[in-house]
């Protein structure tokens, strides 16, 4: 493995914490109010129903981190096996553990719908649920997308070593354009329901790589000396963050985007929100005026278990709902307390039993 100047970036913990909070709010909200809740623009409900964007933020962060690590730790194609080994140890053990726990009924009151259980389990084992159907736990779809990004990420690095950064970014932008064009081609003749949109144009990796590729572009810009100097010497980092924040705020506050979807929404919304988060990311990693806020240590524990939280929170929701009724408490606020508390407890269990041991093993292997 090549020598590394890679180091932990606390500001990313803040972003990761916000990403999982967005997702938790979205999935808790739709259990109570349904997918078609018609929220008022810029109300609290609007920001909660649009918490789906947390997945897009996760994609941007993963796209950035993977390429940043490859640029600093795995510069040669011969290092790819080490990269794949580390990524497998990072995400597979906890995923497979929660997958099996879900199937054997560990989560009370949770039921999954699968017409062919053996087939469904098989393609989940192969990380193909983004293409087929994520019918064991809907949240697993994004892991299928990320796995496929891991396969192409080393080739992005190889490309960047053969071409100037500007040319590499142009080619990646062309790649994004092709993705957007594909969504447009498949959506222009239809008004999709949310379920149709999700299964056909949100979940498959070839329609949802916008954020990951934009994160890769951010990493290339961040690791380019001239761009780094430009960010350090000008207010560009502040401008990027402000514009990115405005895009995210306007998008999340504009009401439920997923009612009676049209071709414009299907084609451009993933691109727009990924652009907003990418601008925020570029501003924050280059020491924008809010970088210290996102680097606060209070975000670290949330970021640390964010992956385990993502894996289990969907399956925990029915138990939280039933407990809030059985205990005679009732009311939405009591559901939220049970939902967030149970998600946290189960996620901590998954983290300490399945995620942390393999992370320690990964670090041990890398030291040898």
Tell me the pLDDT tens digit for each residue of 309-351.
999 999 999 999 999 888 765 568 889 999 999 999 999 999 9
Distance, C-alpha 94 to centroid of its chain: 16
Contacts of 270 (CB under 8 A, 6+ apart): 56, 183, 202, 208, 210, 211
Q: Are 314 and 51 in contact (CB under 8 A)?
A: no
Task: Give 191 or 355, the one with higher predicted confidence.
Answer: 355
Task: For residues 102 and 110, give the distance between their C-alpha atoms in angstroms, rounded to a whole number.
Answer: 8
| 165-202 per-position pLDDT tens digit | 889 999 999 999 999 999 998 887 666 778 888 988 89
Task: For residues 116 and 203, give the distance between their C-alpha atoms in angstroms, rounded to a whole number.
Answer: 20
Q: Does residue 232 carry a pLDDT above 60?
A: yes
Average pLDDT (240-262) is 91
Structure tokens at 237: 């980092």
Please, what is the average pLDDT of the chain?
A: 90
Q: Are 63 and 274 in contact (CB under 8 A)?
A: no
Task: For residues 44 and 66, give the distance between their C-alpha atoms in angstroms, rounded to a whole number.
Answer: 33
Q: Does residue 214 carry a pLDDT above 90?
A: yes
Return the exposure string of 237-265: e unless at least 16 CB atoms fall within 10 Å of the residue's CB, then b: bbebbbebbebbeebbbebbbbeebebeb
Q: Does residue 74 carry a pLDDT above 50?
A: yes
The pLDDT assigned to 310 comes to 98
Distances (CA, A) of 339 to 37, 47, 346, 351: 20, 18, 11, 18
Task: For residues 192 and 260, give the distance between their C-alpha atoms in angstroms, rounded to a whole number.
Answer: 7
Q: Are 280 and 240 in contact (CB under 8 A)?
A: yes
SS3 content of the chain, % helix, strand, coil (to 5): 75, 0, 25
The pLDDT assigned to 308 comes to 98
pTM: predicted TM-score of the whole model, two decimal places: 0.94
């Amino acid at each position: 493995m090549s020598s590394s100047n890679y180091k932990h970036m606390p500001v990313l913990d803040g972003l990761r914490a916000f990403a999982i909070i967005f997702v938790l709010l979205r999935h808790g909200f739709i259990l109570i109010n349904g997918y078609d809740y018609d929220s008022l623009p810029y109300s609290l409900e609007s920001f909660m129903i649009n918490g789906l964007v947390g997945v897009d933020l996760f994609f941007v962060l993963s796209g950035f981190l993977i390429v940043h690590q490859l640029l600093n730790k795995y510069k040669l194609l011969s290092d790819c096996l080490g990269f794949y080994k580390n990524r497998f140890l990072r995400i597979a053990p906890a995923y497979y553990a929660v997958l099996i726990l879900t199937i054997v009924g560990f989560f009370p009151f949770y039921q999954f719908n699968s017409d062919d259980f053996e087939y469904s389990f098989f393609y989940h084992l192969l990380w193909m649920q983004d293409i087929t159907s994520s019918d064991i736990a809907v949240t697993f779809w994004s892991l299928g997308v990320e796995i496929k990004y891991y396969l192409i990420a080393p080739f992005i690095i190889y490309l960047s070593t053969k071409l100037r950064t500007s040319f590499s970014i142009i080619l990646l932008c062309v790649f994004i354009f092709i993705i957007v064009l594909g969504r447009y081609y498949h959506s222009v003749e239809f008004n999709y329901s949310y379920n149709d949109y999700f299964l056909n144009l949100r979940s498959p990796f070839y329609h949802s790589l916008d954020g990951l590729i934009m994160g890769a572009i951010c990493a290339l810009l961040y690791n380019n000396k001239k761009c780094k100097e430009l960010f350090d010497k000008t207010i560009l980092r502040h401008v990027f963050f402000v514009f990115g924040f405005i895009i995210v705020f306007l998008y999340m506050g504009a009401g439920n985007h997923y009612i009676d979807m049209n071709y414009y929404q299907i084609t451009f919304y993933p691109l727009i929100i990924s652009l907003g988060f990418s601008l925020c990311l570029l501003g924050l990693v280059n020491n924008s005026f809010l970088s210290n806020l996102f680097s606060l240590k209070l975000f670290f524990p949330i970021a640390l278990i964010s992956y385990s939280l993502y894996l289990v929170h969907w399956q925990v929701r029915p138990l939280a709902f039933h407990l809030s009724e059985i205990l005679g408490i009732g009311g939405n606020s009591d559901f939220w307390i049970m939902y967030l508390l149970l998600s946290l407890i189960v996620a901590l269990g998954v983290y300490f039993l399945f995620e942390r041991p393999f992370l320690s093993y990964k670090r041990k292997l890398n030291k040898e």
